[in-house]
Amino acid sequence: MIKIAVLVSGGGTNLQALIDAWKEGSLEGGELSLVVSSMEGAAALDRAQKAGIKTVIVERKKYNNICDFDVSLAAALSEYNIDLVVLAGFLSVLGENVLKLFENRIINVHPSLIPSFCGKGFYGIRVHKAALDKGVKVTGATVHFVNNEIDGGKIILQKAVDVLPDDTPETLQKRVMREAEWVLIVKAVAMFCRKEI
């Protein structure tokens, strides 16, 4: 059984897509074993607890530097013998300890078609605002492996989503989540559990 940890910082909509897939049996060979939040009070923690998944808080703001945070995060993941780490709206950059410990075993979902609108500063609603400001007609989401370059790891899956003439950043964000992020993250995790990636 592949033990999966999902790292979150906010509402946990991508986490919910994974929980739903897991409960339906779509993550064959995988088990959602742990949810780690970088923020106390994140709504994602409630989603995890309702699903019976263990939760841990490794609060970024309680650490003076990224190295200490990274050591604590690596320790939490190791304690639960995690095989796959999934970043689902996790707003902290991973450090060398976690990256080395889980090399080629960390995946992230990003709300654009990488290499567009990615890298430092591009997260959440900012990505969709940038896409609309640029006037693109198509956007989407990408699931990729995580390395030491922000949004720079090998791409696993991508899915395009049309930008509509009357879109706002908020309407576009919702459509990208529904049509691409939730679909791709479940598919990529299932592929990992089947040893296809």
Q: What mean pLDDT, rounded, does the chain reach? A: 96
Residue ranges per structural domain of the chain: 2-193
Per-residue pLDDT reduced to its tens digit, 138-154: 999 999 999 999 999 99
Per-residue pLDDT reduced to its tens digit, 99-132: 999 999 999 999 999 999 999 999 999 999 999 9
The fourth-level CATH superfamily of domain 2-193 is Formyl transferase, N-terminal domain (3.40.50.170)
User: Does the annotation count 144 as an active-site position?
Assistant: no
Task: Say if CB 77 and CB 56 are below 8 A apart.
Answer: no
Nearest to 6 by CA among 67, 47, 40: 47
Residue 66's Cβ-count burial label (10 Å; 0-12, 13-18, 19+) is: middle
Per-residue pLDDT reduced to its tens digit, 28-71: 999 999 999 999 999 999 999 999 999 999 999 999 988 999 99
Return the minimum-mean-pLDDT range out of 17-26, 44-53, 88-97: 88-97
Q: What Rg value do the Cα atoms of the chain yield, rounded?
A: 16
pLDDT, mean of residues 176-197: 97
- Cα separation values, 80 from 38, 53, 75, 139, Å: 17, 12, 9, 36
The Cα–Cα gap between 76 and 92 comes to: 15
Helical (H) or strand (E) element with 133: helix 125-134
Contacts of 42 (CB under 8 A, 6+ apart): 8, 9, 10, 11, 12
pLDDT given for residue 120 in this prediction: 93
Catalytic residue among 110, 128, 144, 175: 110
